Structure 1
Amino acid sequence: MAAVAASCAVTVLATGPSWALRRPEPRPAVDVVALGVPVTPVAPAAPAAPGGSAGTAVSTLPALVAQPSHSDLEVVRLDPEPAAPGGTTTVHAFVANRGPDTTASSFTVVVTLPEGVTPEGPYFPEDCEVFQNGHRVRCVFGPGLREGRSATALIPVRLSPDLPPGELAGWVAVRSADDQDEGNNRQPFDIRVIESTDGS
């Protein structure tokens, strides 16, 4: 499945000239820190004076504290390929950073599946978690997604064999402490159920 993710190419049209989606960047993981308040003592204690007790050394090094960035995560709608009852398809949960900053916090992508559709791993990233009795899949991405770049979670699913032809609606949502605009954090997707072509 990692090979599928690596070869996945998505073209997205953006209305504003200030950003453009380039290649998907699944699973960013960059240590982003900012200088904070001084830490509690970390240096060795000063030697004890003759007849006295050991002194206490105070560190002058600043603490490394992660600070939320000014970034805007957006879910971009992508509909999975159609599938027949009993067949499989893949949900592409595509998230872009509109900036202006690189994300300094992790972000969580949640895929909500329609009735009659169940997740079927392996997933990408491979540590995505299924919860709510198989109706949702949660994937966590690390910090470091730059402005104009994207991250994609790939969730293979199987359709129930008794589904009639038609469309099934699901959702992709993203959450992050960095996000400056929650109005674009959720998008629907439709899985089109088609008639089987195997003659059954």
Structure 2
Amino acid sequence: MTVLATDPSWALLRPEPRPAVEVVATGTPEASILPAPVTTGASTLPAPAKPGAGTAASGTGSGTGSEAAGASTLPAPAAARPSDSDLEVVRIDPDPATPGGTTTIHAFVGNGGPDTTASPFTVVITLPEGVSPEGPYFPSDCRVTGHGRVVRCVFGAGLREGRSATALIPVRLDPELPVGRLSGGSVTVRSVDDRNDGNNRQPFDIRVVEAAAGS
């Protein structure tokens, strides 16, 4: 899911810089109409406001200390409250593959409810020895870590009760792997919403098979 970044509704526009004004004196040099130069040490600018005694940004009357520069009157954004949901990993073994061949890991996560998830959740796929991830992945922003043996995929909030999400991770088997069942892989889900961590991890095996004759 792609989210378009927009400015918050409370964001203020930066004021445009005031344009410079060029003053041209007319007449002879002895009769300039420019005002007399200000003596050193004197300033025509208003004195800077003391902390706590600033003026309102757009009003004409005196303001309070909270309106001084550096102080914000905007309320802090409220954090999403975790939901009462139960994320569960369902075991799905990938299709068999030959040494040097490819298959796809299906990291299947369901929400047992009763609430819709209010926070993002992370699916972590740990690969067995001799297996390497080979994109593209789904979601496309999955990241490979752990020296190439761990893939992390983040899903946004909004998974309803009874619904599921699946990360798809294509992998390639080492050409030297022996024929047989390859264990050591697992899928784990993590979320602050999850009220039951007893069903958050499932292993998976990859069956390594001989190449078909003539292939």
Pick aligned residue for 2:204 from 152, 175, 189: 189
User: Shift of the alpha carbon at 1:168?
Assistant: 1.2
Output the amino acid matched with 1:99: G
Structure 1's 107 and 150: CA in aligned 2 closer, same or farther, altered over 3 A?
Answer: same
The 1:62–1:132 alpha-carbon spacing in structure 2 relative to 1, beyond 3 Å, is closer
1:84-107: per-residue Cα shift (whole Å, max 9, x none)?
111000000000000010001100
Q: 1:60 to 1:156 in 2, by over 3 A?
A: closer
Question: How far off is 1:54 after superposition?
Answer: 2.4
Contact 1:28 1:141 in 2 (8 A): no
1:35 is aligned to: none
Contact 1:42 1:59 (C-alpha < 8 Å) held by counterparts: no
Question: In the TM superposition, what whole-angstrom CA distance separates every residue of 1:12-55 from its partner, at most 9, and x where no partner exists?
Answer: xxxxxxxxxxxxxxx698xxxxxxxxxxx999757242xxx324
Counting matched residue pairs gives 160
Cα distance in 2, alignment partners of residues 197 and 86 from structure 1: 13
- After superposition, the C-alpha distances for 1:108-143 in whole angstroms (9 at most, x for unaligned) are 000000001000000000110001111110000010
**TM-score with structure 2 setting the length:** 0.68
Residue 96 (structure 1) aligned with residue 96 (structure 2): no
Partner residue, 2:63: 54
- Tell me the distance in 2 between the aligned counterparts of 1:45 and 1:82: 68
- Residue 156, structure 1, aligned to residue 165, structure 2: no
- Partner residue of 1:166? 180
Secondary structure in 2 aligned to 1:64?
A: coil
| Contact 1:46 1:54 (8 Å CA) reproduced | no
What is the distance in 1 between the residues matched to 2:197 and 2:2? 21
Distance apart, 1:199 and its partner CA? 4.0
Separation in structure 1 between the aligned mates of residue 11 and residue 63 of structure 2, nearest angstrom: 15
Structure 2 unmatched ranges of 5 or more = 4-9, 13-55
Which amino acid letter does the alignment assign opposite residue 98 of structure 2? A
Secondary structure of the structure 1 residue equivalent to 2:119: coil
Greater RCO structure (CA 8 Å; 6+ sep): 1
Name the larger-Rg structure: 2
* Inter-partner Cα distance in structure 1 for 2:149 and 2:97: 18
Q: Which runs of 4+ in 1 moved over 6 A?
A: 41-44, 57-62
1:123 corresponds in structure 2 to: 137
Q: Does 1:136 align with 2:136?
A: no
Unmatched tracts of structure 1, length 5 or more: 1-26, 30-40
Which amino acid letter does the alignment assign opposite residue 148 of structure 1?
G
* TM-score, length-scaled by structure 1: 0.72
Any idea what SS the aligned residue of 1:65 has? coil
Q: 1:63 to 1:132 in 2, by over 3 A?
A: closer
